[in-house]
Amino acid sequence: MIKGRVFVTDELLRGEQCKVSRAQTSSLRFETARGTPRTIRPAVTHRLRVFQGLRSKLRQESGIILIVVLWVLIILTLLVVGIGRRTSVDVALARFEIGKLKAKYLALSGFMYARAKILEDKDNVDTRAQCGVVLEEGQTLEDIFGRIELEDGYFEIFYSIGKYKTDNHAFLHGCIEDVSRSKMKGELSCSEPGDLSGVQYGLTDEERRINLNALTYNNYKILSHLIVQAGFDEQTAETIASSVIDWRDSDDNNFNDHLGAEESYYSAQESKYHCKNSPFESLEELLLVRGMTEEVFGAIKNDVTFFPQKGSMKINFNTASENVLLALAKNFSGTKTNTTEADAESLAGKMLSYRAGDDTVGDTVGGRVISVNDMGLNAKEKVLFLSMAPYKTEKSQYLRIKVKGVEKATGASALIETVVNRNDLSVVSWRRRL
């Protein structure tokens, strides 16, 4: 018998017939909420007992349920935080992508700006201080090419000076693989690796560099001397210079006996590839040539070019580096001119000193244009200079524009490096890095 007041629903009171069991033998008397005495049939009594058992069990397990609910809440909270974080990262990435796009167009603006400057240059002489550009009185290269502000950012036009650091091996090897895969036919498009120790605002000309595509059996030693000037031994220099000739010439015969390298050499390498037998289309191709190492490549990279791909070698005596002038002068020293390498060195020294002008700094406006009669050359130096004369040019044909666009809000930047033909401003080389 259950004592006390019990509240049951009408539905429960209605009950259902069921089999009578021991638990259902007694009836349950109780009063309704209104105090009316009622009797519940045995089947209903059983249900009430089951209900009370469940309630008691629930009381006992309420702690576990609380823990489960807490865990569910924690998991849901983490999910919400995670989704929120992901969304904020997505928004930041989208903003950076927009920044990169703006940087790209800022760099393109710089490229168009540089082309306009080249058009304005009507001078017949290019010097390091005024290469592809004319400076007004008191104007500097930084005034024209340094940080030109636009709506969302700026661009600057510059070139790298100093030593090249080969700190990006993956890049270099990536280029090698690209060339191998394309079987020497495709165009390389690798971004520039590593940093350079400094920059200078302005444009550069390709004529300040030694053209790999204009090296011949007769003048290949210009490259050989350049490599020695850069600090490497003669054997290395001769091997590379000879192999450069073989890399480009159409025949399959070793130039310079055992020093050159043709198909038989490259096909015997562990990672074999073909000898190109056609002009250089990328500077990084040099890394495929026998004897070339990343170290040598880094040391001569700024002093060699592959433009133009046809024609004879032209070097601008007013813009060429000291090593290039030395390499050219040494190429003509020897018994043919009755001069020595020491004569070549003194000639190059006088050329550099003369063109630097009174302030002795080669890249400034106060510089002078090379003039054979005004440099105080002795007889042997003059002979050497005249031997070099067929290579001399004063107005450069190919100009390199290196421009960086920067979007201010995100700091995203884009770099474009291109070479244009001065005649029609057509683009002969185009590289872009975002």
Site residues (vs Ca ion, CB under 5 A): 246, 249, 251, 253, 255, 277
Choice between 51 and 217, CB closer to Ca ion: 217
Residue 277: CB minimum distance to Ca ion, A: 4
Beta strands in 232-346 (DSSP E): 304-305, 315-316
CB 318 to Ca ion: min, Å = 34
Q: How far is the CB of 257 from Ca ion (least distance, A)?
A: 11
- Residue 213 or 339 with smaller CB distance to Ca ion: 213
- Rounded to a whole number of angstroms, the minimum distance from the CB of residue 119 to Ca ion is 40
Using CB atoms, what's the residue nearest to Ca ion?
246
Q: Looking at beta carbons only, is 218 or 253 nearer to Ca ion?
A: 253
Burial class (CB in 10 A: 0-12, 13-18, 19+), 172: middle
Q: How far is the CB of 247 from Ca ion (least distance, A)?
A: 7
CB of 240 to Ca ion, least distance (A): 14
Give the separation between CA 107 and CA 23, rounded to whole angstroms: 91
Query: Which tokens in the block code for residue 192?
Result: 């520039």
Please state the closest distance from residue 266 (CB atom) to Ca ion, in A.
10
**306: closest CA among 248, 234, 227?**
248
Name the residue type at position 300: I
Quick one: 121 or 249, whose CB is closer to Ca ion?
249
C-beta of 290 vs 404, nearer to Ca ion: 290
Please provide residue 180's backbone torsions phi and psi, each rounded to the nearest 5 degrees: -65, -40
Residue 257 falls in which region: left (phi positive, over 0), alpha (psi -120 to 50) or beta: left
In the complex, the smallest distance separating the C-beta of residue 278 from Ca ion, rounded to whole angstroms, is 9
Contact 161, 199 (CB under 8 A): yes
Angle at 301 between CA 407 and CA 217, to 5 degrees: 145
Nearer residue to Ca ion within complex by CB, 24 or 211: 211
The helix/strand/coil state of 304 is: strand
Distances (CA, A) of 81 to 69, 71, 289: 18, 15, 56
Does the N-terminal peptide bond of residue 390 adopt cis geometry, omega within 30 degrees of 0?
A: no
Q: Give the residue with the Cβ less far from Ca ion, 156 or 246.
A: 246
Of the two residues 246 and 417, which places its CB atom closer to Ca ion in the complex? 246
Give the Cα separation of 392 and 382 in Å (integer). Answer: 14
* Partners of residue 326 on adjacent β-strands: none
Q: Which residues of 58-96 are buried (b: 16+ CB within 10 A; e: fewer)?
A: eeeeeeeeeeeeeeeeeeeeeeeeeeeeeeeeeeeeeee
CB atoms within 10 A of CB 216: 12
